[in-house]
Amino acid sequence: MGRWQGRARNVSEADMPTPMDLALSLAEAAAAGGEAPVGAVIVDGDTILAAERNRMRELNDPTAHAEFLAIRTALATRGTGRLDGCDLYVTLEPCAMCAGAIAHVRLRRVYYGAEDLKAGAIDNGVRLFESPNCHHHPEVIGGLGAKRSGELMRQFFQRLR
């Protein structure tokens, strides 16, 4: 097990929910564009509100994480200032900034792929949603698509060396 691990959930590629499949495709597109391979999709029921990938290099913006961009797009799409009842699918465990944003917009559920042992802030690091200072606790389901996501991360960082 390396930095990008997944809990064994045994969701086969064929059974992968469509939004996570889309998020994984976006992660691949990010890698092809020289970005760290992370993709994120926000759904309201069956409706896709946002589908984004990392754009930190492209935008020269270290806050342009896939899920952060997806939150902003989904907010613009919905126009209510909240994303309660909506679910986020993201290929990598969100960082502290993104976990904070997830709590602020009150996403109902977070599905993420690989754990990020260094920068993750949900099941690693500060474990933001477990903090008494965090006033919204989304349901979290980790490890969905973790194998493919972790492999993309490993390939990307191997290429940088």
The DSSP letter of residue 147 is H
104: CB partners within 8 A, 6+ apart: 136
Number of neighbouring beta carbons within 10 Å of residue 72:
15
Q: Which of 35, 52, 67, 93 is catalytic?
A: 67
Interface positions, 123-142, toward Zn ion (CB under 5 A): none
CB of 123 to Zn ion, least distance (A): 14
Which lies closer to Zn ion via its Cβ, residue 20 or residue 90? 90
Q: Is 58 a catalytic residue?
A: no
CB of 128 to Zn ion, least distance (A): 11
**Does 148 help bind Zn ion (rule: CB under 5 A)?**
no
Which lies closer to Zn ion via its Cβ, residue 46 or residue 50? 50
**Does 98 help bind Zn ion (rule: CB under 5 A)?**
yes
How many whole angstroms separate alpha carbon 135 and alpha carbon 127? 13
How many whole angstroms separate alpha carbon 158 and alpha carbon 87? 32
How many whole angstroms separate alpha carbon 142 and alpha carbon 91? 9
Name the segment binding Zn ion (CB under 5 A); options: 29-37, 83-91, 98-106, 140-148: 98-106
Interface positions, 28-67, toward Zn ion (CB under 5 A): 65
CB of 54 to Zn ion, least distance (A): 9
**Does 95 help bind Zn ion (rule: CB under 5 A)?**
yes
Sign, Cα dihedral of 160, 111, 15, 86? negative
84: CB partners within 8 A, 6+ apart: 105, 106, 107, 108
Q: Which residues bind Zn ion (CB under 5 A)?
A: 65, 95, 97-98
Active site residues: 67
